[in-house]
Amino acid sequence: MKQERILMAHGSGGLMSQRLIEEIFKSAWDNEIMAPMLDGAVFEIPAGRLAMSTDSFVITPLFFPGGDIGKLSVCGTVNDLVACGAHPMYLSTAFIIEEGFPLADLRRIAGSMAATAKETGIKLITGDTKVVEKGSADGIFINTTGIGVIKEGIDLRPSRIVPGDLIIVTGYIGDHGLSILAQREGLRFSTPAVSDCAPLYQLTALTDKYQQAIKCMRDPTRGGLATVLNEIAQQAGAGINITEAAVPVSEVVKGASDMLGMDPLYMANEGKMVLFVSAEASHDIMADLKKIPLTSHASIIGEVTSTATGMVLIETELGARRILGMLEGEHVPRIC
């Protein structure tokens, strides 16, 4: 049987576009707000603060151990909203699809987005589909833009960070980056490298509970943990000291990155969060993090200082102390 594929007419805005939306998207994520053939979706919101975050996903390969571009596109924006202290509520989705793309793959991606959204409690409410000629895009690119509600009193801006605050990372780092690289280059390890791609919506309960004690959160995606720590050090006007031995790295990532000459601190994550918390509450926060399966390997990796502001210093496993810079140049492209 001939495989069904995306045609240019699926992006015409006419009959074929309507059919594609009805058959693939509408059935995958039907909900009461979704407006598949209108110009936008309408929803009620209480007075207060909202967070808005956008990300386009251009990852290759589209399907990888631990996820696919659909799951990733929901997790990525959900995690950005969570990092703003917001409860993820609504998501728009926009597809740019290359002519000839298999409809079966599109169906699988749409299903994966629907499942992740359902798990998270976020609603996919409006969308867009464009088709470009064969050779004008690489398979499929997905944009998601999310809206979340921030409860009264929550503020996770880096300016709240003060010297003495402790820094937590919620689990093993580098898994997503290694998984994509391994898949792309055909590398095989004794333990397979699986992406950590996951929606961290359960952290909203913690930001609500520890309003005063959780100062700032950020998800270390592109550029990895090292880049995020540098950004925050700059934005907070503070110094950061971390201890390499305290950073959770799995055996497979440790082994593979030694072999490949890569540093897990610069490798991408898609299911991790970095938290800046007050020292007094750190014990309670760590205890709560360890109860959530996705953050059960959380570790205190360092602290905020008043010296060397805007910089990150690392105490290496060999006992040396050096500056840990931002990612310069390119690490692994198209990781998300």
Residues 41-80 touching a second copy, rule: CB under 8 A, are: 41-58, 79-80
Cα Rg of the chain, angstroms: 21
Query: Judged by CB under 8 A, which of 23, 208, 231, 263 binds a second copy?
Result: 231
DSSP string for residues in 196-255: -----TTHHHHHHHTTTTEEEEE---TTHHHHHHHHHHHHHT-EEEEEGGGS---HHHHH
Contact string (CB under 8 A) for a second copy, positions 257-296, x = contact: ---------x-x----------------------------
Contact status: 212 vs a second copy (CB under 8 A): no
Q: Measure the CA dihedral 113/51/309/265, to 10°.
A: 0
Shortest Cβ 324–a second copy spacing (Å): 12
Closest CA to 207 of 257, 148, 156, 158: 156
Contact string (CB under 8 A) for a second copy, positions 311-330, x = contact: --------------xxxxxx
Shortest Cβ 216–a second copy spacing (Å): 10
Residue with tokens 């952290």: 203
Q: Which is nearer to a second copy, 255 or 265 (CB)?
A: 265
Contact status: 34 vs a second copy (CB under 8 A): no
Give Cα separations from 198 to 83, 171, 192, 312 (angstroms): 14, 12, 18, 27
Q: Which is nearer to a second copy, 47 or 320 (CB)?
A: 47
Closest CA to 182 of 66, 80, 90: 66
- Binders of a second copy in range 162-201 (CB under 8 A): none
Shortest Cβ 280–a second copy spacing (Å): 26
Contact status: 104 vs a second copy (CB under 8 A): no
# residues near a second copy by CB under 8 A: 85
Contact status: 211 vs a second copy (CB under 8 A): no
